[in-house]
Amino acid sequence: MEAYQIRALSFAYPLREKLALKNINLIVKQGEFVTICGKSGSGKSTLLRHLKTVLTPHGTKEGEIYFYGRPLAESGRRAQAARIGFVLQSPDNQIVTDKVWHELAFGLESLGFDNKTIRLRVAEMASFFGIQTWFGKDVAELSGGQKQLLNLASIMAMQASILVLDEPTSQLDPIAAEDFLGTVKKINRELGTTIIMTEHRLEGVLPMSDRVVVMDEGEIIVHDTPRRAGEQLKEMNHDIFLAMPSPMQIYAGVDSTLPCPVTVQEGRQWLDDLPIDNKALREAPGAQCRREPALRTEAGVPPVIQLQEVWFKYARDLPDAVKDLSLEVERGQLYCIVGGNGTGKTTALSIVGGILKPYRGRVRISGRDLRKMSGQERAANQPALLPQNPQLLFVKKTVELDLYEMLAGKQLSKEEKEQKVGDVCALAELEGLLQMHPYDLSGGEQQRAALAKVLLLEPQILLLDEPTKGLDGHFKSKLAGLLKKLAALDVTVLMVSHDIEFCARYADVCALFFDGGIITQNTPRAFFSGNSFYTTAANRMARHIFPAAVTIEDVIEACRNNL
């Protein structure tokens, strides 16, 4: 049975020449798990929104969408509300009411069920999702991951037969994301619900998908099983590969006739099957880096950021958020702190930024104690902090006004200001976006605009909190390029991140944060090849053959050298 049948669908937003969707033909069968991927702006969300009439954007549309054999528009609002469930990106914005039980009942109230039926449905769903323990809670008490699960549960309570998810995990940390995707898979497997989702974190999703749809510029370029999609993309040599799981990227970089691996496990098998002569194994690139000498670059110069045995807690009765933290960052370094959720990484960053004051220990910026600086000195030396959500920094109607706002209090001539804004725009590649409203930019563009804003302060130290959150592969590599440019300008960057792949590739130093302090730090290669679990997918896949290969490029190069 075909749940959806899309025939020659084209769509353009009002006042735009360019088509957002071009001649889309797609059939989704009942019970299938379909993942749609593509760069941001490739039309994924637009396509998803066409699957439910109330969410369809305004514009000129051609083509037909059939829902169980009948035109979608013919099935009424009530039927669509119940049968097509839609989960959006932000866990917070989708929640309407203040109590978990009320939220679970919200959709059923709209459909006009009586108290008894709602009670049963809500109870069923709460038990299925294992959320009965927070049934009576306020939604404000829930974590981001729990909120997104609640959104899913409240839609499933309406007994949806189709679940459409628009990047549901982009705001979640990796563990919560995995949890969420696990639940989605459970719904697909145990209830037979059809799943159509877009996602940029493909490592977890692709192995569970039946089919992958790859979109580019509003068109479907590949539509097949994950394995075959990988093979087709390899032939096309498309840059969408940046978003694919590591085993597929490695597969694409190495000549072989073997089938495309999707998971790390398959990747290991694939590597074993490659004709690599284990005895004659030449040293993989970077193997010597294990013996890389000290991290210090210049002797005698004090580190730019120095924390000595710093302790911090939010209130007297609360446990310590940061415990005995010592840290040194040299000028011009890109220093990455990785680690799980709630270990105190963000707190540590706020301490360095001077927003939180430790109750024990010292924080030195360029060799000077932060506490002993005068107000002016502090303002001059203060590290600039880019928050997790770049939107928090935007205050004006356009990006340009926002950038000039940063210079408002300064004694500069008009030309100087223009010069500075121009420089920073060139650095952050904001040309063409200056007249837009900051909220209308995509995630990656917002990130760059916020970064540009922060850079106008001309900070010597830049603190970044999860800068890659919600960015696709394309924007990540742009961000990395920007960070490299800053390093060349001698700006020191300290960032905290969940994104192991990104840190392994671009950091100068990586440190593992756990239980309020730094457990170990080293150059990325030595750091990740020394870990067994907490390491990149590429390393997990290849460590039995190339223990020192950490990034995808490392593994590809090692394979090529040894084939």
Partner 1 sequence: MKDVFSTLHPVVTFTYFTAVLLFSMCFMHPVCLTVSLLCSFLYSVLLRGKKAIRFNLLYLLPLLLFMAVINPAFNHAGVTILFYLKNGNPVTLESILYGIAAAGMFGAVVLWFSCYNAVMTSDKFIYLFGRLIPALSLILSMALRFVPRYKAQIQVISIAQQGIGRDVSNGNILERARNGLQILSMMTTWALENAIETADSMKSRGYGLPGRTSFSIFRFDRRDKAVFGAMLLLMAAILTGAAAGFNTMRFFPSLKLLPPNAFSLGVYCAYLALGSLPVIIDTAEELKWKRIKSEL
> Which residue from 23, 30, 90, 143 is in contact with partner 1, where contact means CB under 8 A?
90
Cβ proximity to partner 1: between 34 and 386 the closer is 386
Q: Does 391 bind partner 1 (CB under 8 A)?
A: yes
> Whole-number minimum distance, CB 535 to partner 1, in Å?
31
Residue 115 makes CB contacts below 8 A (sequence gap 6+) with none
> Which residue from 5, 42, 89, 521 is in contact with partner 1, where contact means CB under 8 A?
89
> Which residue from 7, 29, 61, 119 is in contact with partner 1, where contact means CB under 8 A?
119
Q: Does 113 bind partner 1 (CB under 8 A)?
A: yes
Q: Does 395 bind partner 1 (CB under 8 A)?
A: yes
- Which residues share a beta bridge with 26? 6
Judged by CB under 8 A, which stretch of 108-116, 208-216, 257-265, 533-541 contacts partner 1?
Answer: 108-116
HSE of 511 in the Cβ direction (CA atoms, 13 Å)?
24
> 414-428 and 473-488 helices cross at what angle (nearest 10)?
130
Token pair 């890389």 in the structure block, residue: 292
> Whole-number minimum distance, CB 57 to partner 1, in Å?
11
The interface with partner 1 within residues 140-179 (CB under 8 A) comprises 140, 151, 154-155, 158
Are 100 and 135 in contact by the 8 Å Cβ rule? The answer is yes
Structure tokens at 3: 């749940």
The interface with partner 1 within residues 265-294 (CB under 8 A) comprises none
Are 344 and 322 in contact by the 8 Å Cβ rule? The answer is yes
Cβ proximity to partner 1: between 497 and 551 the closer is 497
CA end-to-end distance (rounded Å), the chain:
47
By rule CB under 8 A, what count of residues binds partner 1?
64
The interface with partner 1 within residues 297-356 (CB under 8 A) comprises 350, 353, 355
Sign of CA dihedral 497, 440, 14, 86: positive
- Which residues share a beta bridge with 311? 360
Instruction: Compute the chain's Rg from CA coordinates.
Output: 25
Sign of CA dihedral 35, 38, 40, 42: negative
Are 448 and 478 in contact by the 8 Å Cβ rule? The answer is yes
The interface with partner 1 within residues 178-197 (CB under 8 A) comprises none
> Which residue from 7, 23, 55, 232 is in contact with partner 1, where contact means CB under 8 A?
55
Q: Which of 28, 16, 440 is nearest to 218 (CA)?
A: 16
The Cα–Cα gap between 542 and 554 comes to 10
> Which residue from 394, 475, 528, 546 is in contact with partner 1, where contact means CB under 8 A?
394
> Which residue from 120, 258, 301, 379 is in contact with partner 1, where contact means CB under 8 A?
379
> Which residue from 17, 58, 114, 317 is in contact with partner 1, where contact means CB under 8 A?
114
Token pair 């898979």 in the structure block, residue: 185
Q: Does 134 bind partner 1 (CB under 8 A)?
A: no
Judged by CB under 8 A, which stretch of 28-36, 100-108, 177-185, 512-520 contacts partner 1?
Answer: 100-108
Are 398 and 342 in contact by the 8 Å Cβ rule? The answer is no
The contact set with partner 1 (CB under 8 A) reads 52, 54-55, 77-78, 81-82, 85-86, 88-90, 92-99, 101-102, 105-115, 118-119, 122, 139-140, 151, 154-155, 158, 350, 353, 355, 379, 382, 384-387, 389, 391-395, 406, 409, 439, 453-454, 457, 463
